[in-house]
Amino acid sequence: MKLQDKVAIVGGGTGAVGEGIVKTLLSHGATVIVPMRSLEKEESLRQYVAPTRTGSLVTYAYNIGQIEQAEAFREAVLHEFGRIDMVVASLGGWSMVHHLVDMPMAKWKEVLHNNLTTHFLFAKTFIPVLEKQNNGLYVNINGGAQENIAPLAGAMTIISSAQNRMVEVLHHEAREANYRVRSIAAFTPVQTRARGSAVDSSWVSAEDLGNHIAKLYLGKVSPDPITHKLT
Ligand SMILES: NC(=O)c1ccc[n+]([C@@H]2O[C@H](COP(=O)([O-])OP(=O)(O)OC[C@H]3O[C@@H](n4cnc5c(N)ncnc54)[C@H](OP(=O)(O)O)[C@@H]3O)[C@@H](O)[C@H]2O)c1
């Protein structure tokens, strides 16, 4: 229980990968805070993490895809907990439907919003807290699309690369400070509850990602590049 007394926020903690990260951080004893666009997904998440008897799950109904709500969420968390040790952004979702030039404008805007703008909003909301504390870890969860082009998923390559550059910028802007900004990228599909048995045991699991975050926070990953590629 190495993260006992640590406060972690998992944006996207209702998602396939995010819920596995939530469960793993709980297993290390952390208090894990998950914002939800609605509380409809709360029951499913609580059932999933129920076997984990350590840590504490706290949920808030805020849509962090909108700046006003993201800021209100941050203020509510700071009011209740006073500090944040870890921020994890496991935001967005896969889109594999169109050749790039066939993508309808509405779909492009949706993918851009869910996979890039939400990351910008989340960082814009929480990096200043780590900056003020001069302490803590910010983690972006990304995938192998940043390097690989999959059929009909060109937008994911563009956005995944942009996410990676965003983390590099945030890291650069934090270079004089004591808090860290990192990306952890799964270079395989991820084993999640949502995939059920349709997984390959050689793939990275959501728990692997959670354990990597825990070790990274504790300074137990060496080397420690800006982007950690899990294969
Ligand atoms: N799944 C994989 O095999 C895989 C592989 C490699 C990397 N990854 C990475 O893992 C991360 C998460 O993927 P996932 O498979 O877990 O996706 P997911 O199941 O679709 O979950 C996405 C999460 O992001 C939230 N979200 C999306 N758009 C949002 C918006 N506009 N405003 C607020 N919240 C928003 C969702 O909230 P709601 O619950 O409200 O929809 C959900 O919690 C991504 O960064 C992806 O690159 C996944």
> Is residue 17 within 6 Å of ligand 1 at its C-beta?
yes
Q: What number does the ligand 1 atom closest to the CA of 194 have? A: 19
Q: Whose alpha carbon is nearest atom 47 of ligand 1? A: 142
Q: Whose alpha carbon is nearest atom 40 of ligand 1? A: 37
pLDDT at 147 over 90: yes
Q: Whose alpha carbon is nearest atom 32 of ligand 1? A: 65
Rounded to an integer, the average pLDDT of 3-14 is 98
> Does CATH number 3.40.50.720 belong to domain 7-230?
yes
> Is residue 20 within 6 Å of ligand 1 at its C-beta?
no
pLDDT at 155 over 70: yes
Rounded to an integer, the average pLDDT of 174-193 is 97
Q: What number does the ligand 1 atom closest to the CA of 115 have? A: 28
Please tell me the predicted confidence (pLDDT) of residue 40: 86
Distance CA 126, CA 135 (A): 12
Rounded to an integer, the average pLDDT of 160-185 is 97
Residue 132's φ and ψ, nearest 5 degrees, are -65, -40
User: Is there a contact between 225 and 179 (Cβ–Cβ < 8 Å)?
Assistant: no
User: Is there a contact between 34 and 63 (Cβ–Cβ < 8 Å)?
Assistant: no
pTM above 0.85, yes or no: yes
Please tell me the predicted confidence (pLDDT) of residue 140: 98
Is residue 1 very low, low, confident or very high in pLDDT (cuts 50, 70, 90)?
Answer: low
9 DSSP β-pair partners: 33, 87
Q: Which of 94, 112, 122, 183 to mutate to test the pocket of ligand 1 (most atoms within 8 A of CB)?
A: 94
Rounded to an integer, the average pLDDT of 108-126 is 98
Residue that the structure tokens 């990306």 belong to: 183
> Is residue 16 within 6 Å of ligand 1 at its C-beta?
yes
For every residue of 32-87, DSSP letters joined together read EEEEESSGGGHHHHHHHHTT--SSEEEEEE--TTSHHHHHHHHHHHHHHHS--SEE
What are the boundaries of each domain within the chain?
7-230
Cα(176) to centroid(ligand 1), Å: 31
For every residue of 110-122, DSSP letters joined together read HHHIIIIIHHHHH
Is residue 133 very low, low, confident or very high in pLDDT (cuts 50, 70, 90)?
Answer: very high
